[in-house]
Structure 1
Amino acid sequence: MSVTSNADAPGTVSGARSVFRLPFLRWGLVALLQLGLIAIPLADRLQVQMTGTVVPLELIPVDPRDLLRGDYVIINLAIGQVPANLPGGETVEAGDQVFVGLTRDGDKPAEPAVLAKAREQAGSLAISGTVLSKSEEEIRIDYGIDAFFLPEGEGRIIERLETARVLLEVSIAEDGRSLPVTLLVDGKAFRSDSIF
Protein backbone atom coordinates (compact mmCIF):
# COMPACT_ATOMS: atom_id res chain seq x y z
CA MET A 1 0.00 0.00 0.00
CA SER A 2 1.50 3.32 -1.03
CA VAL A 3 0.88 6.48 0.84
CA THR A 4 0.80 9.71 -1.20
CA SER A 5 1.03 13.16 0.15
CA ASN A 6 -1.51 15.76 -0.82
CA ALA A 7 0.97 18.57 -0.09
CA ASP A 8 1.65 19.29 -3.76
CA ALA A 9 -1.71 18.41 -5.17
CA PRO A 10 -3.60 21.13 -7.01
CA GLY A 11 -5.96 22.98 -4.75
CA THR A 12 -3.79 22.53 -1.70
CA VAL A 13 -1.95 25.38 -0.01
CA SER A 14 1.48 24.32 -1.35
CA GLY A 15 0.12 23.85 -4.89
CA ALA A 16 -1.55 27.27 -4.71
CA ARG A 17 1.76 28.89 -3.70
CA SER A 18 3.57 27.49 -6.74
CA VAL A 19 0.79 28.76 -9.02
CA PHE A 20 1.05 32.25 -7.50
CA ARG A 21 4.85 32.27 -7.76
CA LEU A 22 4.79 31.77 -11.53
CA PRO A 23 3.18 35.16 -12.40
CA PHE A 24 5.56 36.96 -10.04
CA LEU A 25 8.46 35.21 -11.73
CA ARG A 26 7.20 36.24 -15.15
CA TRP A 27 6.72 39.89 -14.12
CA GLY A 28 10.12 39.87 -12.45
CA LEU A 29 11.76 38.62 -15.64
CA VAL A 30 9.91 41.25 -17.70
CA ALA A 31 11.08 43.97 -15.29
CA LEU A 32 14.68 42.70 -15.47
CA LEU A 33 14.53 42.66 -19.28
CA GLN A 34 13.27 46.25 -19.35
CA LEU A 35 15.97 47.38 -16.96
CA GLY A 36 18.55 45.63 -19.13
CA LEU A 37 17.29 47.43 -22.25
CA ILE A 38 17.56 50.75 -20.43
CA ALA A 39 21.04 49.93 -19.10
CA ILE A 40 22.57 48.95 -22.47
CA PRO A 41 22.85 52.50 -23.91
CA LEU A 42 23.98 53.82 -20.53
CA ALA A 43 26.69 51.16 -20.31
CA ASP A 44 27.82 51.99 -23.86
CA ARG A 45 27.98 55.69 -23.00
CA LEU A 46 29.86 54.96 -19.77
CA GLN A 47 32.39 52.80 -21.61
CA VAL A 48 33.10 55.52 -24.20
CA GLN A 49 33.46 58.12 -21.47
CA MET A 50 35.70 55.99 -19.23
CA THR A 51 37.97 54.49 -21.91
CA GLY A 52 37.89 57.22 -24.55
CA THR A 53 40.41 59.91 -25.30
CA VAL A 54 39.02 63.41 -24.74
CA VAL A 55 39.83 65.85 -27.54
CA PRO A 56 38.60 69.39 -28.22
CA LEU A 57 36.85 69.97 -31.55
CA GLU A 58 35.82 73.19 -33.25
CA LEU A 59 32.11 73.73 -33.79
CA ILE A 60 29.59 76.18 -35.09
CA PRO A 61 26.73 76.42 -32.59
CA VAL A 62 23.16 77.36 -33.45
CA ASP A 63 20.58 77.73 -30.72
CA PRO A 64 17.06 76.34 -31.09
CA ARG A 65 14.86 75.35 -28.14
CA ASP A 66 13.22 72.09 -27.16
CA LEU A 67 10.14 72.83 -25.08
CA LEU A 68 10.40 69.52 -23.24
CA ARG A 69 14.13 69.51 -22.56
CA GLY A 70 15.16 73.14 -22.26
CA ASP A 71 17.82 74.69 -24.47
CA TYR A 72 20.29 72.88 -26.62
CA VAL A 73 23.07 73.82 -28.98
CA ILE A 74 23.03 72.18 -32.38
CA ILE A 75 26.50 70.82 -32.97
CA ASN A 76 28.07 71.45 -36.35
CA LEU A 77 31.60 70.08 -35.99
CA ALA A 78 34.29 71.71 -38.12
CA ILE A 79 35.55 68.19 -38.93
CA GLY A 80 32.10 67.48 -40.40
CA GLN A 81 33.47 68.96 -43.62
CA VAL A 82 36.88 67.63 -44.59
CA PRO A 83 38.82 68.41 -47.78
CA ALA A 84 38.22 65.90 -50.58
CA ASN A 85 42.00 65.70 -51.07
CA LEU A 86 42.55 64.44 -47.50
CA PRO A 87 44.55 61.18 -47.68
CA GLY A 88 42.06 58.34 -48.20
CA GLY A 89 39.34 60.70 -49.41
CA GLU A 90 39.46 59.31 -52.94
CA THR A 91 38.31 55.87 -51.70
CA VAL A 92 35.08 56.90 -49.95
CA GLU A 93 31.58 57.52 -51.27
CA ALA A 94 28.32 58.81 -49.81
CA GLY A 95 26.87 56.32 -47.35
CA ASP A 96 30.23 54.78 -46.40
CA GLN A 97 31.12 54.17 -42.76
CA VAL A 98 34.50 55.89 -42.28
CA PHE A 99 37.11 56.62 -39.65
CA VAL A 100 38.67 60.06 -39.56
CA GLY A 101 42.17 59.95 -38.13
CA LEU A 102 42.82 63.00 -35.96
CA THR A 103 46.01 64.83 -35.00
CA ARG A 104 46.38 66.88 -31.84
CA ASP A 105 48.68 69.76 -31.01
CA GLY A 106 48.48 70.51 -27.30
CA ASP A 107 45.17 72.11 -26.29
CA LYS A 108 44.34 73.17 -29.84
CA PRO A 109 41.34 71.55 -31.54
CA ALA A 110 42.04 68.19 -33.16
CA GLU A 111 42.41 68.25 -36.94
CA PRO A 112 41.51 65.58 -39.54
CA ALA A 113 44.59 63.92 -41.01
CA VAL A 114 43.36 60.84 -42.87
CA LEU A 115 40.15 59.10 -43.98
CA ALA A 116 39.88 55.32 -43.87
CA LYS A 117 37.23 52.64 -44.19
CA ALA A 118 39.03 50.39 -41.68
CA ARG A 119 39.80 51.49 -38.13
CA GLU A 120 43.38 50.18 -38.18
CA GLN A 121 44.22 52.41 -41.18
CA ALA A 122 43.14 55.61 -39.44
CA GLY A 123 45.93 55.94 -36.87
CA SER A 124 45.96 55.93 -33.08
CA LEU A 125 43.11 58.43 -32.63
CA ALA A 126 40.12 58.17 -34.96
CA ILE A 127 36.44 59.08 -34.82
CA SER A 128 33.85 57.10 -36.77
CA GLY A 129 31.18 58.63 -38.94
CA THR A 130 29.08 58.22 -42.06
CA VAL A 131 29.78 60.05 -45.31
CA LEU A 132 26.78 62.23 -46.14
CA SER A 133 28.04 63.63 -49.43
CA LYS A 134 31.17 64.03 -51.51
CA SER A 135 32.07 66.75 -53.97
CA GLU A 136 35.29 67.72 -55.71
CA GLU A 137 36.12 70.11 -52.87
CA GLU A 138 34.84 68.50 -49.67
CA ILE A 139 33.44 65.43 -47.97
CA ARG A 140 30.63 65.92 -45.45
CA ILE A 141 30.58 63.45 -42.56
CA ASP A 142 28.02 62.83 -39.80
CA TYR A 143 29.49 61.68 -36.48
CA GLY A 144 26.17 61.28 -34.66
CA ILE A 145 26.99 64.24 -32.40
CA ASP A 146 24.30 66.72 -33.25
CA ALA A 147 23.15 68.40 -30.02
CA PHE A 148 24.37 69.42 -26.58
CA PHE A 149 21.61 70.00 -24.03
CA LEU A 150 21.82 72.90 -21.60
CA PRO A 151 19.68 74.20 -18.76
CA GLU A 152 17.03 76.62 -19.97
CA GLY A 153 18.40 80.06 -20.74
CA GLU A 154 22.04 79.00 -21.22
CA GLY A 155 21.60 78.30 -24.93
CA ARG A 156 21.14 82.01 -25.58
CA ILE A 157 24.51 82.70 -23.94
CA ILE A 158 26.27 80.31 -26.31
CA GLU A 159 24.36 81.70 -29.30
CA ARG A 160 25.74 85.20 -28.66
CA LEU A 161 29.38 84.13 -28.38
CA GLU A 162 31.88 84.29 -31.21
CA THR A 163 32.32 80.84 -32.74
CA ALA A 164 36.08 80.90 -32.15
CA ARG A 165 35.50 81.05 -28.37
CA VAL A 166 33.46 77.83 -28.24
CA LEU A 167 34.85 74.28 -28.42
CA LEU A 168 33.37 70.88 -27.68
CA GLU A 169 35.35 68.22 -25.85
CA VAL A 170 34.48 64.80 -27.24
CA SER A 171 35.42 61.43 -25.77
CA ILE A 172 36.53 59.03 -28.50
CA ALA A 173 36.78 55.30 -27.79
CA GLU A 174 39.41 53.07 -29.38
CA ASP A 175 36.84 51.74 -31.89
CA GLY A 176 35.85 55.26 -33.02
CA ARG A 177 32.61 55.68 -31.06
CA SER A 178 32.25 59.18 -29.64
CA LEU A 179 30.11 61.31 -27.37
CA PRO A 180 30.11 64.97 -26.32
CA VAL A 181 31.50 65.52 -22.84
CA THR A 182 32.11 69.21 -22.14
CA LEU A 183 31.23 72.49 -23.82
CA LEU A 184 34.19 74.88 -23.49
CA VAL A 185 34.10 78.66 -23.65
CA ASP A 186 37.49 80.39 -23.82
CA GLY A 187 39.14 77.07 -22.93
CA LYS A 188 37.16 76.66 -19.68
CA ALA A 189 34.31 74.25 -18.98
CA PHE A 190 30.96 75.97 -19.51
CA ARG A 191 28.77 72.89 -19.12
CA SER A 192 29.52 69.18 -18.79
CA ASP A 193 27.40 66.36 -20.17
CA SER A 194 29.50 63.80 -18.30
CA ILE A 195 27.77 60.91 -16.51
CA PHE A 196 29.80 61.74 -13.40
Structure 2
Amino acid sequence: MTGVDDKKTFYKIVGQNIKKYRDLRNYSLQVLAEKVGITKKTVQRYEHGEHKFDMDRLKALALALDVTVNQLTEGAYTYMGEEQTETENISLPIVGKISCGNGVLAYESIEGYETTPRSWINGGEYFYLRARGNSMNGARIFEGDLLLIRKQEEVEDGEIAAVLIDDEAVLKKVYRQGNTLVLQSANPDYPPIICGESGSNIRIIGKLKKVVINF
Protein backbone atom coordinates (compact mmCIF):
# COMPACT_ATOMS: atom_id res chain seq x y z
CA MET A 1 0.00 0.00 0.00
CA THR A 2 1.01 3.55 -0.54
CA GLY A 3 2.19 5.14 2.67
CA VAL A 4 1.99 8.70 3.94
CA ASP A 5 5.68 9.22 3.23
CA ASP A 6 5.20 8.11 -0.38
CA LYS A 7 2.36 10.60 -0.86
CA LYS A 8 4.55 13.36 0.56
CA THR A 9 7.30 12.38 -1.87
CA PHE A 10 4.79 12.48 -4.75
CA TYR A 11 3.83 16.09 -3.96
CA LYS A 12 7.45 17.04 -3.38
CA ILE A 13 8.55 15.73 -6.81
CA VAL A 14 5.64 17.48 -8.53
CA GLY A 15 6.60 20.64 -6.67
CA GLN A 16 10.17 20.35 -7.93
CA ASN A 17 8.85 20.00 -11.47
CA ILE A 18 6.65 23.09 -11.04
CA LYS A 19 9.67 25.09 -9.91
CA LYS A 20 11.83 23.71 -12.73
CA TYR A 21 9.40 24.85 -15.42
CA ARG A 22 8.71 28.14 -13.66
CA ASP A 23 12.44 28.86 -13.72
CA LEU A 24 12.66 27.82 -17.39
CA ARG A 25 9.85 30.26 -18.23
CA ASN A 26 11.57 32.92 -16.10
CA TYR A 27 8.33 33.41 -14.16
CA SER A 28 8.37 34.82 -10.65
CA LEU A 29 6.17 33.25 -7.98
CA GLN A 30 3.83 36.21 -8.38
CA VAL A 31 3.54 35.85 -12.17
CA LEU A 32 2.66 32.15 -11.93
CA ALA A 33 0.23 32.83 -9.09
CA GLU A 34 -1.61 35.46 -11.16
CA LYS A 35 -1.81 33.13 -14.17
CA VAL A 36 -3.41 30.40 -12.07
CA GLY A 37 -5.52 32.72 -9.90
CA ILE A 38 -3.98 31.78 -6.56
CA THR A 39 -1.62 33.43 -4.06
CA LYS A 40 2.15 33.57 -4.29
CA LYS A 41 2.34 31.73 -0.97
CA THR A 42 0.24 28.88 -2.35
CA VAL A 43 2.59 28.44 -5.33
CA GLN A 44 5.53 28.39 -2.95
CA ARG A 45 3.87 25.71 -0.80
CA TYR A 46 3.17 23.62 -3.93
CA GLU A 47 6.83 23.85 -4.93
CA HIS A 48 7.94 22.75 -1.46
CA GLY A 49 5.52 19.82 -1.51
CA GLU A 50 3.68 21.25 1.50
CA HIS A 51 0.26 21.66 -0.09
CA LYS A 52 -1.97 19.05 -1.76
CA PHE A 53 -3.77 19.81 -5.03
CA ASP A 54 -6.47 18.21 -7.17
CA MET A 55 -6.36 17.42 -10.91
CA ASP A 56 -8.09 20.68 -11.90
CA ARG A 57 -5.40 22.70 -10.11
CA LEU A 58 -2.66 20.58 -11.68
CA LYS A 59 -4.15 21.23 -15.14
CA ALA A 60 -4.27 24.95 -14.42
CA LEU A 61 -0.61 24.97 -13.36
CA ALA A 62 0.40 22.99 -16.45
CA LEU A 63 -1.51 25.39 -18.69
CA ALA A 64 0.09 28.43 -17.05
CA LEU A 65 3.56 26.92 -17.48
CA ASP A 66 2.89 25.83 -21.09
CA VAL A 67 3.61 22.16 -20.30
CA THR A 68 1.58 18.96 -20.02
CA VAL A 69 0.30 17.39 -16.82
CA ASN A 70 2.58 14.43 -17.57
CA GLN A 71 5.58 16.76 -17.47
CA LEU A 72 4.58 18.07 -14.05
CA THR A 73 4.09 14.56 -12.65
CA GLU A 74 7.19 13.07 -14.26
CA GLY A 75 8.92 10.74 -11.82
CA ALA A 76 6.21 11.13 -9.18
CA TYR A 77 3.70 8.36 -9.84
CA THR A 78 6.05 5.55 -8.83
CA TYR A 79 5.69 6.82 -5.27
CA MET A 80 1.92 6.36 -5.45
CA GLY A 81 2.29 2.64 -6.14
CA GLU A 82 1.46 2.95 -9.82
CA GLU A 83 3.08 3.71 -13.13
CA GLN A 84 2.04 6.67 -15.18
CA THR A 85 0.61 5.44 -18.48
CA GLU A 86 -0.19 7.35 -21.62
CA THR A 87 -3.91 7.35 -22.27
CA GLU A 88 -5.59 7.45 -25.67
CA ASN A 89 -7.11 10.86 -24.87
CA ILE A 90 -5.88 14.11 -23.42
CA SER A 91 -7.75 17.07 -21.99
CA LEU A 92 -7.33 20.42 -23.76
CA PRO A 93 -8.59 23.83 -22.60
CA ILE A 94 -11.46 25.67 -24.29
CA VAL A 95 -10.17 29.24 -24.23
CA GLY A 96 -12.66 32.08 -23.91
CA LYS A 97 -10.23 34.99 -23.96
CA ILE A 98 -6.58 35.45 -24.89
CA SER A 99 -4.28 38.35 -24.07
CA CYS A 100 -0.77 39.16 -25.20
CA GLY A 101 1.54 41.01 -22.83
CA ASN A 102 5.27 41.46 -23.52
CA GLY A 103 4.91 39.05 -26.44
CA VAL A 104 3.62 36.23 -24.23
CA LEU A 105 0.18 34.74 -24.85
CA ALA A 106 -1.98 34.17 -21.80
CA TYR A 107 -5.27 32.31 -21.55
CA GLU A 108 -7.38 34.57 -19.35
CA SER A 109 -10.65 32.68 -19.43
CA ILE A 110 -10.96 28.89 -19.58
CA GLU A 111 -14.53 27.79 -20.31
CA GLY A 112 -13.72 24.14 -19.65
CA TYR A 113 -11.73 21.21 -21.00
CA GLU A 114 -12.44 18.98 -23.99
CA THR A 115 -11.41 15.31 -24.12
CA THR A 116 -9.36 14.96 -27.30
CA PRO A 117 -7.90 11.87 -29.06
CA ARG A 118 -4.11 11.83 -29.02
CA SER A 119 -4.25 10.90 -32.70
CA TRP A 120 -5.33 14.49 -33.40
CA ILE A 121 -2.19 15.87 -31.79
CA ASN A 122 1.16 15.93 -33.55
CA GLY A 123 3.67 17.87 -31.49
CA GLY A 124 3.35 21.42 -30.22
CA GLU A 125 0.75 23.05 -27.99
CA TYR A 126 -2.97 22.83 -28.73
CA PHE A 127 -6.10 24.51 -27.41
CA TYR A 128 -9.71 25.06 -28.43
CA LEU A 129 -11.58 28.20 -29.39
CA ARG A 130 -15.34 28.36 -29.87
CA ALA A 131 -16.58 29.73 -33.20
CA ARG A 132 -18.62 32.92 -32.97
CA GLY A 133 -20.69 34.63 -35.64
CA ASN A 134 -21.06 33.63 -39.30
CA SER A 135 -17.97 35.07 -40.95
CA MET A 136 -16.53 31.59 -41.70
CA ASN A 137 -19.74 29.84 -42.77
CA GLY A 138 -18.34 29.34 -46.29
CA ALA A 139 -15.66 27.10 -44.76
CA ARG A 140 -18.38 25.10 -42.94
CA ILE A 141 -17.51 26.67 -39.61
CA PHE A 142 -20.58 27.72 -37.67
CA GLU A 143 -21.52 29.41 -34.41
CA GLY A 144 -20.68 27.19 -31.44
CA ASP A 145 -18.32 24.78 -33.22
CA LEU A 146 -15.17 23.90 -31.33
CA LEU A 147 -11.98 24.82 -33.18
CA LEU A 148 -8.83 22.83 -32.44
CA ILE A 149 -5.90 25.24 -32.78
CA ARG A 150 -2.19 24.42 -32.91
CA LYS A 151 -0.24 27.28 -31.40
CA GLN A 152 2.12 28.76 -34.02
CA GLU A 153 2.94 32.20 -35.41
CA GLU A 154 3.32 31.32 -39.10
CA VAL A 155 0.90 29.75 -41.58
CA GLU A 156 0.90 29.25 -45.34
CA ASP A 157 -1.07 31.55 -47.65
CA GLY A 158 -4.74 30.62 -47.67
CA GLU A 159 -4.61 28.55 -44.49
CA ILE A 160 -7.16 29.23 -41.77
CA ALA A 161 -5.64 30.64 -38.59
CA ALA A 162 -6.62 32.00 -35.23
CA VAL A 163 -5.64 35.67 -35.23
CA LEU A 164 -5.50 37.91 -32.20
CA ILE A 165 -6.92 41.39 -32.87
CA ASP A 166 -6.34 43.40 -29.72
CA ASP A 167 -7.55 40.80 -27.17
CA GLU A 168 -10.11 39.12 -29.42
CA ALA A 169 -9.26 35.84 -31.16
CA VAL A 170 -10.92 35.46 -34.58
CA LEU A 171 -10.68 32.84 -37.31
CA LYS A 172 -9.65 33.98 -40.82
CA LYS A 173 -7.90 32.85 -43.97
CA VAL A 174 -4.48 34.46 -43.95
CA TYR A 175 -2.58 35.90 -46.91
CA ARG A 176 0.67 37.86 -47.06
CA GLN A 177 1.40 40.56 -49.59
CA GLY A 178 4.88 41.81 -48.84
CA ASN A 179 4.69 43.41 -45.41
CA THR A 180 0.91 43.45 -45.50
CA LEU A 181 -1.29 40.87 -43.83
CA VAL A 182 -4.71 40.19 -45.38
CA LEU A 183 -7.33 38.43 -43.26
CA GLN A 184 -10.15 37.03 -45.36
CA SER A 185 -13.49 35.75 -44.10
CA ALA A 186 -15.30 32.85 -45.76
CA ASN A 187 -18.46 34.91 -46.14
CA PRO A 188 -18.81 37.58 -48.88
CA ASP A 189 -20.74 39.83 -46.50
CA TYR A 190 -17.49 40.54 -44.62
CA PRO A 191 -14.73 42.66 -46.25
CA PRO A 192 -11.09 41.61 -45.78
CA ILE A 193 -9.04 43.09 -42.97
CA ILE A 194 -5.81 44.57 -44.31
CA CYS A 195 -2.99 45.69 -42.06
CA GLY A 196 0.74 46.29 -42.02
CA GLU A 197 2.64 43.91 -39.72
CA SER A 198 4.91 46.60 -38.29
CA GLY A 199 3.44 47.99 -35.10
CA SER A 200 0.15 46.21 -35.75
CA ASN A 201 -2.18 45.02 -33.02
CA ILE A 202 -2.90 41.91 -35.09
CA ARG A 203 -1.00 38.69 -34.49
CA ILE A 204 -1.31 35.10 -35.75
CA ILE A 205 -1.53 32.77 -32.74
CA GLY A 206 -2.32 29.39 -34.23
CA LYS A 207 -3.39 27.21 -37.15
CA LEU A 208 -6.80 25.57 -37.39
CA LYS A 209 -6.33 21.80 -37.29
CA LYS A 210 -9.84 20.43 -36.82
CA VAL A 211 -13.46 21.57 -36.38
CA VAL A 212 -15.63 19.75 -33.86
CA ILE A 213 -19.21 20.30 -35.04
CA ASN A 214 -21.73 21.53 -32.52
CA PHE A 215 -25.02 19.65 -33.00
Report the TM-score when normalising by structure 1: 0.25
* Rg larger for: 1
